[in-house]
A = this chain, B = another copy of it.
Protein backbone atom coordinates (compact mmCIF):
# COMPACT_ATOMS: atom_id res chain seq x y z
CA UNK A 1 0.00 0.00 0.00
CA UNK A 2 2.30 2.75 -1.12
CA UNK A 3 2.15 5.69 -3.46
CA UNK A 4 4.05 6.73 -6.54
CA UNK A 5 5.38 10.29 -6.44
CA UNK A 6 2.53 11.52 -8.62
CA UNK A 7 -0.06 10.11 -6.23
CA UNK A 8 1.74 11.67 -3.26
CA UNK A 9 1.68 14.90 -5.22
CA UNK A 10 -2.05 14.70 -5.86
CA UNK A 11 -2.77 13.82 -2.23
CA UNK A 12 -0.76 16.70 -0.82
CA UNK A 13 -0.94 19.38 -3.47
CA UNK A 14 2.84 19.52 -3.59
CA UNK A 15 4.27 19.36 -7.08
CA UNK A 16 6.34 16.35 -8.09
CA UNK A 17 9.64 18.22 -8.57
CA UNK A 18 9.09 19.91 -5.23
CA UNK A 19 8.76 16.56 -3.46
CA UNK A 20 12.06 15.47 -4.98
CA UNK A 21 13.54 18.80 -3.98
CA UNK A 22 12.43 18.25 -0.38
CA UNK A 23 14.18 14.90 -0.43
CA UNK A 24 17.28 16.55 -1.85
CA UNK A 25 17.51 19.07 0.97
CA UNK A 26 16.89 16.37 3.55
CA UNK A 27 13.45 17.52 4.66
CA UNK A 28 11.98 14.19 3.64
CA UNK A 29 13.78 10.87 4.06
CA UNK A 30 14.61 9.06 0.84
CA UNK A 31 11.72 6.63 0.33
CA UNK A 32 11.90 3.00 -0.73
CA UNK A 33 12.32 2.36 -4.43
CA UNK A 34 10.98 -0.18 -6.89
CA UNK A 35 13.42 -2.36 -8.79
CA UNK A 36 13.32 0.25 -11.52
CA UNK A 37 14.38 2.94 -8.98
CA UNK A 38 11.02 4.67 -8.81
CA UNK A 39 10.04 6.20 -5.47
CA UNK A 40 7.30 4.62 -3.40
CA UNK A 41 5.87 6.58 -0.48
CA UNK A 42 4.12 5.24 2.59
CA UNK A 43 1.20 6.82 4.42
CA UNK A 44 3.47 8.47 6.98
CA UNK A 45 5.53 10.04 4.20
CA UNK A 46 2.36 11.54 2.78
CA UNK A 47 1.41 12.78 6.26
CA UNK A 48 4.81 14.42 6.55
CA UNK A 49 4.30 16.08 3.19
CA UNK A 50 0.93 17.37 4.32
CA UNK A 51 2.56 18.80 7.41
CA UNK A 52 5.13 20.56 5.27
CA UNK A 53 2.43 21.84 2.96
CA UNK A 54 0.43 23.37 5.78
CA UNK A 55 3.47 24.92 7.37
CA UNK A 56 4.52 26.41 4.03
CA UNK A 57 1.02 27.76 3.54
CA UNK A 58 1.44 29.50 6.87
CA UNK A 59 4.66 31.02 5.65
CA UNK A 60 7.11 29.06 7.80
CA UNK A 61 10.61 28.86 6.34
CA UNK A 62 12.16 25.49 5.60
CA UNK A 63 14.44 25.72 8.62
CA UNK A 64 11.44 26.30 10.90
CA UNK A 65 9.63 23.40 9.30
CA UNK A 66 12.57 21.05 9.75
CA UNK A 67 12.57 21.93 13.45
CA UNK A 68 8.83 21.56 13.78
CA UNK A 69 8.94 18.17 12.10
CA UNK A 70 11.72 17.02 14.40
CA UNK A 71 9.78 18.22 17.43
CA UNK A 72 6.59 16.54 16.30
CA UNK A 73 8.44 13.25 16.48
CA UNK A 74 8.88 13.46 20.25
CA UNK A 75 5.24 13.69 21.33
CA UNK A 76 6.07 13.46 25.05
CA UNK A 77 8.35 16.49 25.14
CA UNK A 78 7.08 19.88 26.16
CA UNK A 79 5.73 21.91 23.28
CA UNK A 80 7.53 25.01 24.49
CA UNK A 81 9.85 25.06 21.50
CA UNK A 82 7.01 24.57 19.06
CA UNK A 83 5.22 27.56 20.46
CA UNK A 84 8.42 29.55 20.47
CA UNK A 85 8.96 28.93 16.77
CA UNK A 86 5.37 29.80 16.02
CA UNK A 87 5.49 33.01 18.02
CA UNK A 88 8.76 34.02 16.44
CA UNK A 89 7.24 33.41 13.05
CA UNK A 90 4.18 35.38 14.01
CA UNK A 91 6.29 38.37 14.89
CA UNK A 92 8.08 38.09 11.55
CA UNK A 93 4.69 38.19 9.87
CA UNK A 94 3.72 41.19 11.98
CA UNK A 95 6.86 42.98 10.97
CA UNK A 96 6.23 42.31 7.30
CA UNK A 97 2.65 43.51 7.57
CA UNK A 98 3.79 46.69 9.27
CA UNK A 99 6.38 47.31 6.60
CA UNK A 100 3.94 46.71 3.78
CA UNK A 101 1.38 48.92 5.43
CA UNK A 102 3.87 51.78 5.64
CA UNK A 103 4.72 51.20 1.99
CA UNK A 104 1.08 51.21 1.10
CA UNK A 105 0.49 54.52 2.81
CA UNK A 106 3.28 56.11 0.81
CA UNK A 107 2.01 54.65 -2.46
CA UNK A 108 -1.51 55.90 -1.81
CA UNK A 109 -0.17 59.34 -1.05
CA UNK A 110 1.75 59.36 -4.31
CA UNK A 111 -1.16 58.39 -6.52
CA UNK A 112 -3.49 60.75 -4.69
CA UNK A 113 -1.22 63.69 -5.21
CA UNK A 114 -0.80 63.04 -8.89
CA UNK A 115 -2.74 65.49 -11.03
CA UNK A 116 -2.51 63.24 -14.12
CA UNK A 117 -0.69 65.62 -16.34
CA UNK A 118 2.82 65.56 -17.77
CA UNK A 119 5.45 63.15 -16.51
CA UNK A 120 7.56 66.20 -15.73
CA UNK A 121 4.97 67.30 -13.17
CA UNK A 122 4.00 63.86 -11.88
CA UNK A 123 4.24 63.57 -8.11
CA UNK A 124 5.01 59.88 -8.39
CA UNK A 125 8.12 60.54 -10.43
CA UNK A 126 8.98 63.49 -8.22
CA UNK A 127 8.77 61.43 -5.07
CA UNK A 128 10.92 58.68 -6.54
CA UNK A 129 13.52 61.21 -7.65
CA UNK A 130 13.54 63.02 -4.31
CA UNK A 131 16.80 63.43 -2.45
CA UNK A 132 16.01 61.15 0.48
CA UNK A 133 12.87 59.13 0.92
Contacts and interface: CB of A to CB of B under 8 A. Distances in A.
Interface string A61-92: 00000001001101111111011001101100
A51 B126 CA distance: 9
A118 to B, nearest CB: 6
Contact of A97 (B72, B104, B117): B104
A120 interface: yes
Contact of A119 (B58, B71, B116, B130): B71
Given A100-B59, A119-B72, A125 B90 contact: no
Counted per complex, copies of this chain come to 2
B86 A107 contact: yes
A94 B104 contact: yes
Interface string A4-44: 00000000000000000000000000000000000000000
Interface residues on A, range: 35 or more
Interface of A: 47, 50-51, 53-55, 57-59, 68, 71-72, 74-80, 82-83, 86-87, 89-90, 93-94, 96-97, 100-101, 103-104, 106-108, 110-111, 114, 116-122, 124-125, 127-131, 133
A106 B58 contact: yes
A120 B77 CA distance: 8
